[in-house]
A and B are shown apart, each in its own frame.
Chain A
Amino acid sequence: MARVTSTVFATPAVVPADSSERSRYSDKTLTAKPARTGPADGGRPLLTYARDVADFPGVRLHVVTGKGGTGKTTVAASLALALAGGGRKVLLAEVEGRQGLAQLFDCPPLRYEERKVAVAPGGGDVFALSIDPEDALLDYLHMFYKLSRTGVAARTLRRMGAIEFATTVAPGLRDVLLTGKVKEAVVRRGGNGTAAYDAVVLDAPPTGRIARFLNISQEVSGLAKVGPIKAQSDGVMAVLRSQRTAIHLCTLLEEMPVQETIDGVAELEQVRLPVGGVVVNGIRPPLLPPAALSAAEAGTLDRAQIASGLEKAALDAPDDLVDTLVGEAGDHAVRVALEERGRDSLGALHRPTYELPMLAEAVDLGSLYELADMLKAQGMA
């Protein structure tokens, strides 16, 4: 039985203080109507806002990155579900061939083919796609050069191992192909002239590589100063740098993920790529009353008080159980303090910040819907 902690200790999304950034988020309506009730068992008061307008109204491409182990694939999938709510159509793409999305949605492995994987509450659709560089190249040749995907040239390319060669000798080309397909989905028009997808969510490479992955014009600049590669990478870059794109970073409240998030934001800003929000995953609410936290950390909790409580609850209270409880409370308090420090560091980024709880069980489709609700309630979608 999976138990999803449904309370979120949400830091309300921060409106950046920097005035140039402010314009981007200024049309967010902060209607302060609490969307959820507070935790039953103590902890910080809950601040969650339901908003009429989400934080990224003009954004069509949501890039989700994060350090390994911070749940970026889960966040990408939840965000796609949240964005699809109310009858919208969203594409969720992965580029590393990991099949992480297929595992989450419990469906057969994804291919280079947009396939519906989930229906959002209110009737929206989430399509998913695994982008492979070889297929992306053939697709590109087909679209721009009318080259048949199964013709002699395409077969020759495949047989020669040309794509593997090209991506080995110039890995930047691989990223151009992958991001090129993403861009194509973002700008694609449907039969009636409207956008084929209301939004595209990219489960992107990890934080340590994200700036390099997205900053493709830098990557290929040494390889191609003119010509089709250059034109293609400029086209992709124009979308990635525009207000239509937001790059979100997932993290945990642990030191290294927090540090990598801060470094990642700085790197992205340096190459002028648009940073979106920070999603803090794996939040566990503090269980000790604020006053007890420092005593717990110092190991000076009132043992007699604990022992008498145990007795009152008709539990045996041998000394070693009290020791264990005091020790565990100490670990808990240390962790809470570290998390607070991590939260402060992330707060200094002045980015919209969203929090998701640690799930008691492995993520499945049901919990994705809950996480999607939480992201929506906090204004991310």
Chain B
Amino acid sequence: MTRNSKDAARPGSARKGPPPHFDVDATLATAAILVCTGSGGVGKTTTAAALALRAAESGRRTAVLTIDPAKRLAQSMGLTSLDNTPRRVAGVSAAEGGSLDAMMLDMKRTFDEIVLTHAEPGKAEQILQNPFYQALSSSFAGTQEYMAMEKLGQLQATGDYDLVVVDTPPTRSALDFLDAPERMTTFLDGRMIRVLLAPAKAGSRAYVKVMSAGFSVFTGVLTKVIGAGVLQDVSQFVGALETMFGGFRERAQATYDLLKAPGTAFVVVAAPERDALREAAYFVERLGEESMPLAGLVVNRVHRSAGEALSAERAHVAAQALEEAGGHELAAAVLRVHAERVALASRERRLQERFTGAHPGVPLVEVAALPGDVHDLEGLRSVGAGLAGATTTAVCA
């Protein structure tokens, strides 16, 4: 069977040396904001929690912010509920003077708070009651990313924390949240907003320009498609929002700047699988374009074998010989297990080498696959130790 041509290993990639080692502890000791990103299902939430716990136990006042509505962080930290307020996590060693607070983002409440802060008195209530506001503030598309960044900024601004670790939303693409602040600004500056505000400012340039662009046809279509009542709701919403545009835009810019500020570091999380590594590669490239600081790549759930000297092929042959001869079922079976493990390890390594071949400068650390999921602080602690302790060369040996 032929492999997908896009997946053909790049000749030469294997000749390059091992990637630089991602020194997790050094990053945890110096960063003020750590953004964990990666595609869904790669253990991002667990990684964020493990990093935060490790930072806390090494003496930093740390907060971890998660967005996932499945409350996975809650599970892995043994907490039963998280809300929009950081809560102290019990059972974290304070021997070094650090602490760990955890919270789960309440997107709607965060949005409401912004409205209350920035809208003119009297307008706030109007905005909060508008059906479009309610749809926008409680939906997942875009708003969640923006609110995550907003909350991150708020947490950092309290001055209560040396380090804020944020687990990015389970978006369609890991890149979405990077665009969120800008998308919000573009949205607020967009032509549609001006069109909808236009009747209120008849005679303004925007209005004239729009009129000449077939505005009547356009509103005719809109009214036909969405109904006049809806159009009125939208207009009212946008009109009310306008009073807080300045504040909004400022915040969106501030959030974006925060992501580029010294002290911010991105950790890209992947699993040794094709799609996850492809997503990681996109993200690494994007961070480069935005001049945002990449601390390193965490490759989670890596399988290795200490006995790779015994190849999968030889193990299979030996197992088969034993099965045919009879009497050594156990040895044959453990050889089959070994063969499967080695085969998986080499498949994962090939995929990883494709990434490092294309991005040779990205510091990388591998975390060994655990048989089960992490449910408690002890589990997070050992993931954290794996993140900090394992060197690529040692694990690959």
Contact = CB atoms under 8 A, between A and B. Distances in A.
Q: Do A and B come from one complex?
A: yes
Interface of A: 1-2, 4, 41-42, 67-70, 96-98, 103, 106, 141, 145, 147, 152-153, 156-157, 159-162, 164-172, 174, 205-206, 208-209, 212, 219, 222-229, 254-257, 259-260, 263, 284, 287-289, 292, 301-302, 305-306, 308-310, 312-315, 320-321, 324-329, 331-332, 334-335, 338, 360-362, 364, 366-367
Given A41-B336, A312-B331, A361-B347, A164 B5 contact: no
B305 A328 contact: yes
A313 B318 contact: yes
Contact of B3 (A67, A222, A364): A364
Interface string B330-361: 11111111101101000100000000000000
A287 B336 contact: yes
A324 B3 contact: no
A153 B139 contact: no
B141 A287 contact: no
Given A69-B42, A106-B4, A325-B307, A308 B214 contact: no
Contacts of B143: 171
Nearest to B328: A309
A315 B310 contact: yes
B227 interface: yes
Contacts of B307: 320-321, 324-325, 328
Contact of A160 (B195, B229, B274): B195
Contacts of B373: 254-256
A226 B275 CA distance: 43
Contacts of B39: 68-69
Contact of B331 (A169, A308, A320): A308
Interface of B: 1-7, 39-42, 68-70, 72, 131-132, 134-136, 139-143, 170, 172-173, 183, 187, 190-193, 195, 213-215, 217-218, 220-222, 224-227, 229-230, 233-234, 237-238, 271, 273-276, 305-307, 310, 314, 318-319, 321-323, 325, 328-338, 340-341, 343, 347, 371-373
Contacts of B276: 69
B190 to A, nearest CB: 5
Nearest to A305: B330
Given A164-B190, A222-B131, A308 B328 contact: yes
B170 A206 contact: yes
Contacts of B224: 145, 228
A313 to B, nearest CB: 4
B5 A367 contact: no
Given A170-B136, A212-B140, A313-B318, A2 B3 contact: yes
Contacts of A335: 371
B305 A324 contact: yes
Contacts of B68: 208
Contacts of A360: 343, 347
A365 to B, nearest CB: 8
A159 B322 CA distance: 72
A152 B218 CA distance: 9
Contacts of A168: 136, 141-142, 183, 187
Contact of B135 (A147, A171, A328, A367): A171
Contact of B335 (A292, A301, A325): A325
B191 A302 contact: no
A154 B73 CA distance: 45
B140 A334 contact: no
18 contacts: A2-B3, A41-B323, A69-B42, A103-B4, A153-B217, A153-B220, A156-B214, A219-B139, A228-B224, A312-B328, A313-B321, A313-B322, A313-B328, A324-B305, A324-B307, A327-B306, A328-B338, A364-B2
Contacts of A209: 140
B306 A324 contact: yes
Contacts of B217: 152-153, 156
Contacts, number: 247
B368 to A, nearest CB: 10
Contacts of A103: 4, 6
A211 to B, nearest CB: 12
A312 B323 CA distance: 11
A250 B237 CA distance: 40
A166 B325 CA distance: 71
Contact of B190 (A165, A306, A329): A165
A156 B318 contact: no
A134 to B, nearest CB: 13
* 8 closest A-B pairs by CB: A309-B331, A68-B40, A69-B41, A227-B227, A165-B192, A309-B328, A313-B318, A68-B41
Nearest to B195: A160
Contact of A161 (B40, B170, B192): B192
Nearest to A156: B218
B274 A362 contact: yes
Given A171-B136, A334-B371, A292 B141 contact: no
A254 to B, nearest CB: 7
Contact of A172 (B41, B139, B222, B227): B139
A156 B192 CA distance: 11
Contacts of B134: 222
Contacts of B306: 320, 324, 327
Nearest to A317: B331
B132 A223 contact: yes
Contacts of B275: 69
A141 B225 contact: yes
Contacts of A289: 329-330, 333
A366 B3 CA distance: 9
A95 to B, nearest CB: 10
A328 B2 contact: no
Given A156-B213, A256-B72, 8 more contacts: A153-B214, A160-B192, A162-B192, A171-B143, A226-B229, A259-B70, A313-B319, A326-B334
A234 B152 CA distance: 39
Nearest to A219: B135
Given A103-B6, A209-B140, A367 B336 contact: no
B309 to A, nearest CB: 8
Nearest to A41: B336
B314 A67 contact: no
A229 B221 contact: no
Contacts of A1: 1
Contacts of A229: 225-227, 230
